[in-house]
Amino acid sequence: MQLRLSVTLSLAILIVAMVAGVFAFVSAFDEAHEMQDDTLRQVAVLFDRQHMTLRYPEGKGIAGDDEESRLIIQHLADGSNASGNDDDTAPLPFPTTLADGLSTVNVGGEAFRVLVRTTARGERIAVAQETGARDKDARESAWRSLLPFLVLFPVLLLVVGDLVRKLFRPIATLSFEIDQRAEQELHPINESHLPTEIRPFVVAINRLLARVANAMENQRRFVADAAHELRSPLTALSLQAERLAGADMSAVAHERLVPLRRGIERGRNLIDQLLTLAKVQSETSTPTSPVSVHEVYRRVLEDLLPLADIKHLDVGVEGEQDVRVLINEMDLMTLVKNLVDNAIRYTPQGGRIDLSVVMDNGTALLQVKDSGPGIALEERARVFDPFYRSLGTDEAGSGLGLSIVQAIAQRTGARVSLGFADEVQNRGLRVSVWLNVAKG
């Protein structure tokens, strides 16, 4: 629309400028001729009023006399006594039958503009000038009248282009602002600084954002309520399964009870993950404070070390330098716990998991690396989707861990990247998280 408006206005300006230029040129050309004709009249009147007498020049002309632009005055009757048929000598051979007034006469191949006047003494005089010089002066005057158009036209095009860009700048700014929003930022757009013409459009967008926010809130509330309602019966089932395991039963019954208890435990983990995901998605902002990354690592490893010991995994923290980041402590705990839990689940028996934190261009870089199979390049865009699990793995999981990590990162302004822990063999997963460092 901006391009079409600029082109349309430019074409309109071009057409108007051309029409106005042609009119100005023709008008100036005609006006110059009228002024030249008026000069002939003034000379004839001056000759009559001053009762001047005529004497034709002989010999060389006067210095500075321009033959093309000179004015010639002679008695019209002297045209019959002209010594030549050209304009080099005076008098010129004008027809003696010319009527009073203005006319154009050809003499010796040159056109002359001739004014014939009868004086008070009854003499008929002719005041003449070559039309070539007259036309040259008229054209120069007409071209000078076009100079303002020639100067103003490109300036006006630049002004119109700049004006159109400035008029559309609020729309471009609004588009950039909306494009930079995170998925959870559904607050209304401020339309107070926008032009009146696009405010109804922005108001409609705000209404749509409100409906989307309401729908998303209802969805999150439903997930949270459903998970909360399922937690109690699954907890009861887990307790009953534990009591059943202590009862006297056959070996076959014990064998069948094991997958039942595992299924109940997976259900409980899934519900806990759903509640966590609903919580991090519903909270638009949380209070932040300086948090020690190593302290969070220590608390997470205390909780998950029993799971790592079952698989004989070597889990540890690399480096001694601690970094304090500006984030909500529970958000960082949840983020790190999900990353380490995923690493424990997908790292094979006897594998290795390393946690680290370093400074990277003024930000804190947290990394969790494991010796598992890693994530293929084509799957990395999808692993952040809820319930998506990498193909070719038999490890039980909910597929919500990285979704929770991504939701926390988007809300806190962090950045998450996936890569191979071993770049040579393309194995192992390296999750990198960039966080803001606490000041002071």
Q: pLDDT tens per residue, the chain (440 residues)?
A: 677 777 788 788 778 878 877 787 788 778 877 888 888 888 888 888 887 777 776 655 555 555 666 778 888 888 777 766 555 566 888 888 888 898 888 887 788 888 899 888 888 888 888 887 777 877 777 777 777 777 777 888 888 888 877 777 777 777 788 877 766 677 788 877 777 777 888 888 888 888 888 887 777 777 667 766 766 777 777 778 777 777 777 888 878 777 787 777 777 777 777 777 777 766 666 788 899 999 999 999 998 888 889 899 999 898 888 999 998 888 899 899 989 988 998 899 999 999 999 998 889 999 999 998 888 888 887 888 877 776 555 555 567 778 888 888 888 888 999 999 888 888 899 999 999 998 86
Q: Is 261 helix (H, G, I), strand (E, B) or coil?
A: helix
Tokens of 252: 């076959």
Tokens of 96: 């003696």
For position 282, what pLDDT does the model report? 66
Tokens of 139: 């054209």
For position 88, what pLDDT does the model report? 59
Q: What are phi and psi of 381, to 5 degrees?
A: -75, -20
One of 3.90.1150.10, 3.30.565.10, 3.40.1000.10, 3.40.50.300 is the CATH number of 289-436, namely 3.30.565.10
Residue 400 and residue 423: Cα distance in Å, rounded?
Answer: 26
Residue 210 and residue 206: Cα distance in Å, rounded?
Answer: 6
Residue 66 and residue 55: Cα distance in Å, rounded?
Answer: 19
For position 434, what pLDDT does the model report? 92
Closest to 72 measured CA to CA, from 35, 108, 39:
39
For position 296, what pLDDT does the model report? 92
Cα-based angle 367, 371, 374 (whole degrees, multiple of 5): 80
Each domain of the chain, given as residue ranges in start order, spans: 2-56+66-145, 181-284, 289-436
pTM to 2 decimal places = 0.51
The DSSP secondary-structure symbol of 62 reads: P
The DSSP secondary-structure symbol of 250 reads: -
For position 356, what pLDDT does the model report? 92
| CA 190 to centroid of chain Cα atoms | 19
Residue 138 and residue 387: Cα distance in Å, rounded?
Answer: 86
Residue 204 and residue 240: Cα distance in Å, rounded?
Answer: 54
Residue 6 and residue 161: Cα distance in Å, rounded?
Answer: 6
The label of the residue with tokens 């729309």 reads: 171
- Does domain 181-284 bear CATH number 3.40.50.150? no
All residues at 6 or more sequence positions from 71 whose CB lies less than 8 Å from its CB, including other chains = 39, 40, 43, 127, 128, 129
For position 91, what pLDDT does the model report? 80
| CA 170 to centroid of chain Cα atoms | 11
For position 397, what pLDDT does the model report? 59
For position 56, what pLDDT does the model report? 73
| CA 436 to centroid of chain Cα atoms | 28
Q: Is 440 helix (H, G, I), strand (E, B) or coil?
A: coil
> Buried b / exposed e across 391-405, counting CB within 10 Å, b at 16+?
eeeeeebbebbbbbb
Cα-based angle 80, 86, 90 (whole degrees, multiple of 5): 60
DSSP-derived pairing of the beta strands 352-360 and 363-370? antiparallel
